[in-house]
Structure formats: C-alpha cells, structure tokens
Amino acid sequence: MRLRKLACLVTALGLLGSTAFAGSKAKGGDASVARAGIEAGNAKFGEAFQRGDASAVAALYTEDAMLFPPDSEIIKGRKAIGEFWKKTHDSGVKSAKLTTLDVGTGGDVAYETGTVVLTVQPEGKPASTASAKYVVVWKRQADGSWQLHRDIWNSRAAAK
C-alpha cells in the first residue's frame, strides 16, 4: 500500500509538472528565447533581401501573412509578399538593417517593435538611407522557429 501511495503521488506530481510546464509556455515560452528566434529570422530576412531572393524572403512569412507597406493597400499571402520585396529590391533598395527594440509574447504569438535602416541607391544615383519603425506579429511554428505574420512600418522622420 505504501508503494501504491507513492505511485499516486508520482502521478499527481507528474501532472502538476506538466501543468507548470504548459503554464510557462502559455506565458510566452520565455520572451528572451522568442527574441533570439526573431532576431535569427531578421538576420535571414536581411540576407535574403540583399540577394533579391524573393522565395527565400517569402519563406520567412506565414502562408496567410499580411504586409502593410505605406501608401499601399494590404498585401496578402506569402507569394505576393515575396514579390513586393523583390520589386522593392530591384527599385534600388540595396539593404535593410533591422534592429529589434522589444519583444513580448502570448502563447505561440510574439510581437516585436523595432527600427530599420534602408540603404537606397537607384542605378546611377548616389546612395542614401531612410529610417523607419515597425511592429511585426510573429507566429511560432511546430518546429519552434518563428515566421512573420503581420508586418507594418512607417517613416520615423517628419516628411519635408
């Protein structure tokens, strides 16, 4: 009977353990772990964008992602988003350097705020930079990686 009591306690503690684990995951699965995954995603974005690689950029977004470029309607879906970034690259935006300001999480969702510096150099013209701020909603995938799900930005500097 002592053994049985022990078995009962082990079962109960086991369940408690998994509850606690589920709880900590629900609380955001550790915002610093999410932030590391998101910063890795941003690094991949910068590299793929610089190469003008539409399909590599598209693969960083969820299938039903939405992009909100300034002065444009909403762009929906991975494929259309990849094409938008390819067009942006080909128009002379050479690179996008993303800097994460903060990350918060809830379940498999994370929201990131940050700033981006674009280096712009249309053919035959001198290079310049433009600075924007952004909010991105990320979704955690089954393999633990994060994909961009909602992506919106606007200018930091007052229009002249």
Among 31, 52, 134, 147, binds its own copies (CB under 8 A): 134
Residue closer to its own copies by CB (options 13, 47) is 13
| 41 and 138 Cβ atoms separated by less than 8 Å | yes
Map the footprint of its own copies across residues 59-98, applying CB under 8 A: 66, 68-74
DSSP 8-state secondary structure symbol assigned to residue 158: P
Among 32, 59, 106, 141, binds its own copies (CB under 8 A): 106
- C-beta neighbour count of 141 within 10 angstroms: 12
Give the nearest distance from C-beta 19 to its own copies in angstroms.
5
Nearest to 149 by CA among 39, 38, 67: 67
d(CA 118, CA 129): 5
| 79 and 63 Cβ atoms separated by less than 8 Å | no
Residue 159 lies near its own copies (rule: CB under 8 A): yes
d(CA 84, CA 65): 13
- Mark the segment that binds its own copies (CB under 8 A) among 10-18, 37-45, 78-86, 92-100: 10-18
- Mark the segment that binds its own copies (CB under 8 A) among 36-44, 49-57, 88-96, 107-115: 107-115
Which residues contact its own copies by CB under 8 A? 1, 4-5, 8, 11-12, 15-16, 18-19, 22-23, 25-28, 66, 68-74, 101, 104-111, 113, 133-135, 137, 149-150, 152-159
